[in-house]
Structure 1
Amino acid sequence: MADDDDEEGFGGAYEDGHWIWDENIEQLAFISDLPPVAVETIQIPTKAPTGTVEFRDDVDLIEQIRFRRRYQRKIKPGQAEIITVQDVKDIALFTAPVNIMSPILINMLHLPTTERFIRALILYCAYYLQVADEMTRRILELDTKVRTPVCELVENEFRDNLGDLRLLVAKEYSTMLIGGADTKKFHHMGSQKKRRSLSDKDARLFETLLRMCVQIVWLALGRKSFNQIELEMNRMFKSEIFNSVEHTLKTDYISKMAKEERAVLLGHCVRHDKKLNTRSPLMNEVFCHRQIDYRIMGLGVIKFPQMTPRLDYMYQAIVGDEENLCNMGVVLGIIGMPRGGFDTMLRPIPVASETAKSKASVSTNIMSSQGSKSSTSMRKGANAKQLYPHIYLPKHEEHEIYFPPSFPDNPEHIRLCSETQRRRWQNRLQKLLHPQAAGR
């Protein structure tokens, strides 16, 4: 028989062989002496605007010298002097307005998943602009030419290529949505997905990230067709209904497209559901019922035993070494091109034969710059010279898709981003947000 002290304390007392429960007696409480686990919290100091955001593109010479001395990526001995994705990100971060900058945005831009996402966006937008120009030319030729069955085959190839490139963007975007891999600490419900959803914070982070990616893609494609890039990227991520850029510009460009042009540029995975059930075109591409090579969904993350020339082209574009892109015939805008052909702000340096032409067009540029702000943004980069060759994706294999006996689970080697550059931009942001503390 245990002592009375041991028999009490379980919510009652032992009398005459029976337990008598008393609600006034406290229950057992297990108290841990371990310190509480620190929960990482990422705060945005100011609410970033979700409307029109203008980046600086008229950096003076003094600012360029400061950027080259303090923030430009330093080339180490033995490294190729070529343009990398990090160089383009540095220009975008340097010219971004302070009110959209935040430590979480800088950290997210320096993740391997985000870098694959940006490279996939550059590849898609470059091919999209190329196909859009080709389709415009083909539609204009309908006045004098007759469509043949060959036209359908060529346009179907354009449509399938755009769909596969959208899948490259969608697979990285899906990783960000679910907080997978290295993006889990940026999830709106925490890394364990057990907190209350911070939907407002998540929406503002997404808006600033999307606007930053638009600027990065525009810089990587030689500063041309800004509004066309912005409209297409917002359509992909938000659908036609919630495309805020289209609501602002009111271009009505989709309804102005010809039927053949719309079928190629938008694809056949577009769904027009009710607003509450609307999914973005990127997610529609993932769940679309069409023949898709499943290996596209794991490029750069999982090693596959067999790779077709088409898959290898996409693989090199999103995770390959930048110094080998030109040698392998992979086009990714100005990424991989020699650094000596561009100035500090990644503008092409004109050669001697082009100097006379540029002087002759000075007066025209001055007159065009006196227009309204909206028309200036619509023309931004419209007349830029084509700095990179056209993209020619290898065709699909004629035989059926290879299915291995088991799904491969060997991870691919992940290319890390520059930690040095990330710290530089974090320090610069702290100086801009707290100038008094930085001056001490």
Structure 2
Amino acid sequence: MQRIHKDNYVPKYKSGKWSWDSEKDCLNFQPHNDLENARERYITTNGVKFLRTIDQEEELIYRQEFMRPPSSFAADVVSISDIRDLVLYVMPDEFLSYKFIDFLHQPQVEELIHSLIIYFEYYLRMVEFVMIRRDEISGQMAQMQSEQTNDMKCTLSVYLSQYRMLVARNYCEILQDQDNMAKFYHLNMIVKLSDTTGDKHFHEKFLAVLVQIIWICMYRRAYFVIEMEMNRLFRSEHFLPAHDKYPVFSATERSFLYGRNNKNVNYRSQESPLVQELKLVPAEDLPILWIGKRKYRGNDIRIAEMELEYIVPGTQLCLIDIAHGILGHPKYLYNTLLQLDWPSVRYSNFSEEFDPYHIIRQPNLQIPKLDELKMRKMSEKYDQFYDLLHVFDPCSHFHICKWLRRKATIKLYRSGRLLTNVVSRCEKELASKSTGPRFDQIVSNYIADMSKKRKDDGKVDADTISYAGSAYSRKSGIYHR
């Protein structure tokens, strides 16, 4: 059953408050027309204010000008591009520079965001496990930990370190100053001068955007846990900003969450946790560094599972029954700000037996088998000679310039430019006397659209072209095949 697409220009997110109207004896919704002084208008990330909520006019502008078009690949499900576009719309004006927007649309940055989403999906589960375990082993009804419990916690900690390796590998690809990353390097290769101040501000902006992307992808929960861990990964613990809402972990909990390679030394010689993960990689974990680059050939089930989880696109995670936040969820379950719409969830009739998007089922940790780490050391691996090709749609110069004109576009619409809806668009099309595009242009646009959705490099068979031609002939009044 195909779902009917709703109008893309109708507001879905309503910002306001409900009150009781005693005269009409009913509830009355009062929208926030001016949110400048509204409570919780902004959210502060690393000292920078991002918009937390928007009014209906800002929503219409975003949906009409900046949202991912319906003709793009997998437009009906949530992807990394949707979350990135939303963060670009709510970020401060001083963040909008050509270099920074171009950097966020690079394939290496998208792979880093993908690995961070996978890491934080399991990191938040581990933090929840630590909090529950903390309550179980304390108080009057404290439970005793067995040797099997310690082995399980050790295995889970190693698993979390493996996801941290993927993040470290993708981050080092950005730092290596190779391929298309060379133009973003802060060292001028001609005069050999380093732009330390500019690189520091660039790094601060990038971390703030990463926190926002991960927070939105994780259902907007555990914000301070995400912010603290993101700063720890890229800065080290010496440079964590002080905040009273950051969680405090004991030494045992820190060793469980931060892994076996975490070491704190003097801040002058301190390395970030991402670099520490790559300096001491066990022999059985070396194939992890090739995940997404070459096809794994071996009998280690753990690495095969990580490879499947990494190479499957976020829009198709329901096919392997894995949840990475809101990636791959249908858009009709969310509003414009990618917040879950619970009435739509109830109408979808999800249950524990039918829950392809892990919305009803709570996040869970699969208990590892006993002695699984010892069994992994005995696994066999073979030469990897199958390269994996990552399909990536580059960002055009026009798209970057559109984001640079964000402030001017919003000001233009607020000054009186018409925000078109479905009625005004239909009236405009009916009043138009244009004959439309030519037949060859219709066929070429159709082939380009189908090749983009099927990812087949523009190869469309002759039957598709003949079918498109016959459909155009029937529309023109000429019935032939």
After TM superposition, is the score higher than 0.5?
Answer: yes
Change (3 A) 1:50 1:228: closer
Map residues 6-405 of structure 1 onto 2, 5 A cutoff: 52-76=47-71, 79=74, 81-143=76-138, 144-190=142-188, 195-244=192-241, 247=242, 249-250=243-244, 253=247, 256-288=248-280, 290-306=282-298, 308-351=300-343, 389-390=362-363, 398=376, 400-404=378-382
**SS in structure 1 at match of 2:329:** coil
Which segment drifts farther, 270-279 or 345-354?
A: 345-354
The answer to whether the 8 A contact 1:119-1:317 is kept is no
Q: Aligned partners of 1:242, 1:155: CA distance in 2, in Å? A: 28
The answer to whether the 8 A contact 1:299-1:315 is kept is yes
Q: Aligned partners of 1:392, 1:312: CA distance in 2, in Å? A: 18
The answer to whether the 8 A contact 1:120-1:317 is kept is no
Q: Aligned partners of 2:106, 2:309: CA distance in 1, in Å? A: 17
State TM-score, norm by structure 1: 0.72
Deviation at 1:119, TM superposition (A): 1.0
Aligned to 1:412: 388
Q: Aligned partners of 1:271, 1:238: CA distance in 2, in Å? A: 13
State TM-score, norm by structure 2: 0.66
Q: Deviations over 1:358-416 (max 9, x none)?
A: xxxxxxxxxxxxxxxxxxxxxxxxxxx977752657876635344435x64x5421221
Structure 1: runs of 5+ lacking an equivalent: 1-48, 356-384
Deviation at 1:78, TM superposition (A): 7.7
The answer to whether the 8 A contact 1:301-1:413 is kept is yes
Higher RCO, Cα 8 Å, sep 6+:
1
Q: Aligned partners of 2:185, 2:344: CA distance in 1, in Å? A: 51
Q: Deviations over 1:168-200 (max 9, x none)?
A: 10001111112234322211125x687322222
**SS in structure 2 at match of 1:55:** strand
Instruction: Give the letter for the 1:266 counterpart.
Output: Y
Instruction: Give the letter for the 1:268 counterpart.
Output: R
Q: Aligned partners of 1:196, 1:271: CA distance in 2, in Å? A: 32
Identity percentage of aligned residues: 23
Which segment drifts farther, 311-320 or 118-127?
A: 311-320
Instruction: Give the letter for the 2:403 counterpart.
Output: R
Which segment drifts farther, 307-316 or 197-206?
A: 307-316
**SS in structure 2 at match of 1:75:** coil
**SS in structure 2 at match of 1:173:** helix
Deviation at 1:339, TM superposition (A): 1.1
Deviation at 1:67, TM superposition (A): 0.8
**SS in structure 2 at match of 1:206:** helix
Aligned to 1:365: none
Change (3 A) 1:436 1:224: closer
Q: Aligned partners of 2:64, 2:411: CA distance in 1, in Å? A: 23
Aligned to 1:5: none
Q: Aligned partners of 1:56, 1:333: CA distance in 2, in Å? A: 21
Q: Aligned partners of 1:433, 1:62: CA distance in 2, in Å? A: 15
Deviation at 1:321, TM superposition (A): 2.2
Aligned to 1:27: none
Change (3 A) 1:80 1:326: farther
Aligned to 2:402: 427
Change (3 A) 1:341 1:307: farther
The answer to whether the 8 A contact 1:132-1:265 is kept is yes
Deviation at 1:122, TM superposition (A): 1.0
Q: Aligned partners of 1:323, 1:435: CA distance in 2, in Å? A: 30
Larger radius of gyration: 1
Change (3 A) 1:80 1:289: closer
Deviation at 1:306, TM superposition (A): 4.2
Q: Deviations over 1:221-248 (max 9, x none)?
A: 011111110001101111110113xx2x
Q: Deviations over 1:115-134 (max 9, x none)?
A: 11001111111211111111
**SS in structure 2 at match of 1:54:** strand
Q: Deviations over 1:54-102 (max 9, x none)?
A: 1102111111111111111112288462100000001100100111222
Q: Aligned partners of 1:276, 1:433: CA distance in 2, in Å? A: 44
Q: Aligned partners of 2:127, 2:256: CA distance in 1, in Å? A: 9
The answer to whether the 8 A contact 2:168-2:278 is kept is yes
The answer to whether the 8 A contact 1:50-1:207 is kept is no
The answer to whether the 8 A contact 2:294-2:387 is kept is yes
